[in-house]
Amino acid sequence: MDQTLIISIAAFFGMMALVGGIIFVFRDFSSSKAEDRLAVITGKKKADEESASLLKEEFVKGGLNSLSDQVAHFFEKFGNLKLLLEQAEAPFKADTFLLMSGVSAAAGFALAWFTNAPVPFCPVAALATGSLPFMWLLFCRNRRFKKFALQLPDALELVGRALRSGHSLASGLSVVVQEMPAPISTEFALAYEEQNLGVPIDEALKSMLKRMPNLDLKFFVTAVVIQRQAGGDLAEILDKIGHIIRQRFKIMGQVQALTGEGRISGVVLMALPIALFFAVYYLNPDYVMLLFTDELGRKMIAGGIVLQVLGALWIKKIINIKI
């Protein structure tokens, strides 16, 4: 077996062992989730956003196993992976997602190695395939956010009608759960269950806002908090918020139509250098390999990557018009 392949496999398993050791070191040895849940139910601990999320996980979804808790807790120090999985409504847990990413990276590395690709391409292929699960997760998350935003005006109108008919705000949330499809019915159901378990309704709505960071939902949560503190006609406020959301959607559609050419130009400009590189490599590999074997070539690759990223950010800044 090639010595380079042996070294690569040993480095892969060494990195996996290092990650496992770091997870064990950063493990939280404080009170368990069961103890935190009992403290919330008995009133000994304030039902803040973390406690509300705890109630939601344990009572609605059944919770995570100990390995998933350790992995999610570790990644919360660098980025909330557990929250990302919840926002995307992924059908798997944090440890399963990391395993999928590792398997995808190993498959990409093996594919590049056994197809006799240049050695510098092997880690690039592993990085590209390893990021595919994460890209899919972001895609599902954004698609769910967009669907939630489109359903929000109708949900606010339902809550407003329920308030006018004499129902409470909690009953209005229940109407949304019964009458509307997912994902908005799922999120309102979680908020409704949390307030049934004793969490204040404004805290339950703030927990929903943390899961679905939507500006219009923030207006709704803020209106509810102010109304509970100072009073006022909440139904009328919800109708006005719904009208504003619909007008914003109308303007956003016009902006999307006007910036369509810019978006297509950005995609073409970003994909053209990559496609041209692979085409030239297929026609004349020795000509392209100078970029990796020569010092000036490596500097040119680094500069090209930096310019590609800057160009993508600049084009996105131009076509991303805030409304």
pTM above 0.75, yes or no: no
pLDDT of residue 233: 85
Q: How confident is the model at residue 184 (pLDDT cuts 50, 70, 90)?
A: very high
Long-range contacts made by residues 162-169, C-beta under 8 angstroms, separation at least 24?
A: 163/234, 163/235, 163/238, 164/235, 169/201, 169/224, 169/234
CA distances from 110 to 1, 103, 117 (A): 14, 10, 10
pLDDT of residue 9: 60
| pLDDT tens profile 89-120 | 888 888 888 888 888 888 888 888 887 776 77
The span from the CA of 126 to the CA of 234, in Å, is: 53
Domain 147-245 has CATH 1.20.81: yes
pLDDT of residue 6: 57
pLDDT of residue 11: 57
pLDDT of residue 145: 93
CA dihedral 162, 164, 168, 169 (to 10 degrees): 70
Residue 64 has pLDDT above 50, yes or no: no
The span from the CA of 89 to the CA of 189, in Å, is: 14
Give the pLDDT mean for 119-139: 85
Average pLDDT score, the chain: 78
Where is average pLDDT lowest: 14-23, 175-184, 218-227, 252-261?
14-23
Residue 188 has pLDDT above 50, yes or no: yes
What residues does each domain of the chain span? 147-245, 250-319
Question: Can you spell out the DSSP letters for 11-43?
Answer: HHHHHHHHHHHHHHHT---SS-HHHHHHHHHTT
